[in-house]
Structure 1
């Protein structure tokens, strides 16, 4: 792999109305090790609203308040990343995008040029939704969708979603004790894509449905997605560093798994 996108959500980065610095540090350590393998990394990160809430206690249920919290929290979030990456002498940048930016060839082209320039300089682009203006995306939690678009339009070979959901299961593991994780998924049932979105955390706006939609978007365009736990990063390390598929779910279209360069454990 030459280039990947890693997406981390609020359910992983935040807890008890704050950004969990230890989890952010663990994520940064993972990215640094991936880069040491010669792989370019684009990070799509949620967490701005939670970071803003630590400085201003507004009612998160009101959209205008969430937009204000995002505005307050975005510079704080980037500052935290700067400190964590700075310990590894890695420079980061901030890019705020909305779905509208991918509806315009001109804007998509300019965004891609900026990302290409940053990656050429060894800088990690950190992308987030522009929550202040992206009202619809803010409500429906489309950072999963955003990361899929980033992976496709910015020519990444793989999207890695680190979540509070460690795999895609054959049934809801919260309801059924016999639910089994699916290791490889090549097609997503239509009913799963149309299911109700069920976010877990107070700052989270996604759920398994938004992740499946992101995977479906990439599958239809011949790209891959890997879903794994963002709390315990052992499956991500195994897949990205050791190139062994132990846990998590890989979404891909191709039928020759040997071509993927990842062993199945």
Structure 2
């Protein structure tokens, strides 16, 4: 049985300042199907945006973002729990910090916890502990967090579901002739140095953070699949039926 980490971003989970419940339901249905033949770990953004639905604080302030995350995290988990319960699937919350992932003993404890949950049929839902950690809120992203989790839990694949449906040979927002790069073995260094440009008010990433996550995993000999979180057709075809129509697979080059 393969182990898969699936990361979903705020741009997918949020719409008009609230949680996009239909997209969350579609995600849960997909993960329930994926779980039938795989161990599944979910890395989910959305705590800050969930908190904002209850308290309209200025999101430019780190302190306010932390407060919103503290309000929103349990709200987000309640919604996930309710939707997964329909499939008779139990979930668990696993909050980590960037500091945890820099300490070998903490990494081992996180892996032990996730291993235990998975062995008992539970889906771990991982997020940065935004209420206490400022590093992620200031500059970071759950794309990189999901890559770290994929590596340190010895997952076989990371799947990132985003408002970005694939990696293109040029910016599709500026070039209508941009073409999807279906399989990528190496990412040009210049692409990794570009400015981070999130599209959503609650997002902290963009294509650059996804490329960095992919580059990190490629260096570790692991694969990543990037596709749309708005329309799950591509990820379903690829992950459930091994049919690569859309989306981008980042995978190490075979010797």
TM-score, normalising length from structure 2?
Answer: 0.98
Counterpart secondary structure, 2:99? helix
CA distance in structure 2 between the partners assigned to 1:194 and 1:133 by the alignment: 28
Q: Is the 8 A contact 1:158 1:226 kept in 2?
A: yes
SS in structure 1 of the partner of residue 81 of structure 2:
helix
Report the CA distance between 1:78 and its aligned residue. Answer: 0.3
Note the residue ranges of structure 1 that are not aligned, 5 or more in a row.
Answer: 257-265
Give the Å deviation of 1:39: 0.3
Report the equivalent of 2:238.
239
Contact 2:98/2:135 (<8 A) preserved? no
CA RMSD for the aligned pairs?
Answer: 0.9
Equivalent in the alignment of 2:7 = 7
> What CA distance in whole angstroms lies between the structure 2 residues aligned with 1:207 and 1:134?
21
Counterpart for residue 172 of structure 2: 173
Q: CA deviation at 1:99?
A: 1.5
Partner SS for 1:106: helix
- Cα distance in 1 for partners of 2:11, 2:67 equals 20
Paired position in structure 1 for 2:66: 67
Q: Report SS of the residue matched to 1:41.
A: strand
- Structure 1 position 139, deviation (Å): 1.9
Q: What does 1:214-233 align with in structure 2 at a 5 Å threshold?
A: 214-233=213-232
Give the aligned partner of residue 261 of structure 1. Answer: none
> How far is 1:254 from its partner?
3.0
Q: How many residues end up aligned between the 2 structures?
A: 255
Could you tell me how far 1:136 is from its partner in structure 2? 1.8
The secondary structure found in structure 2 opposite 1:99 is coil
TM-score of the aligned structures, taking structure 1 as reference length? 0.95
User: 136-145 or 8-17: which moved more?
Assistant: 136-145
Residues 183 and 248 in structure 2, CA contact (< 8 A), matched pair in contact too? yes
Q: What is the rounded CA distance, in whole Å, between the counterparts of 1:136 and 1:183 in structure 2?
A: 32
Residue matched to 1:57: 56
* TM-superposition CA deviations, 1:97-128 (whole Å, max 9, x none): 11211111111101100000000000000000
CA distances 1:199-221 after superposition (whole Å, capped 9, x unpaired): 00111111000000000000000
Task: Tell me which stretches of 4 or more aligned residues in structure 1 moved more than 2 Å.
Answer: none
In structure 2, C-alpha distance between the alignment counterparts of 1:6 and 1:254, rounded to whole Å:
22
| 1:155 matches 2:154 | yes
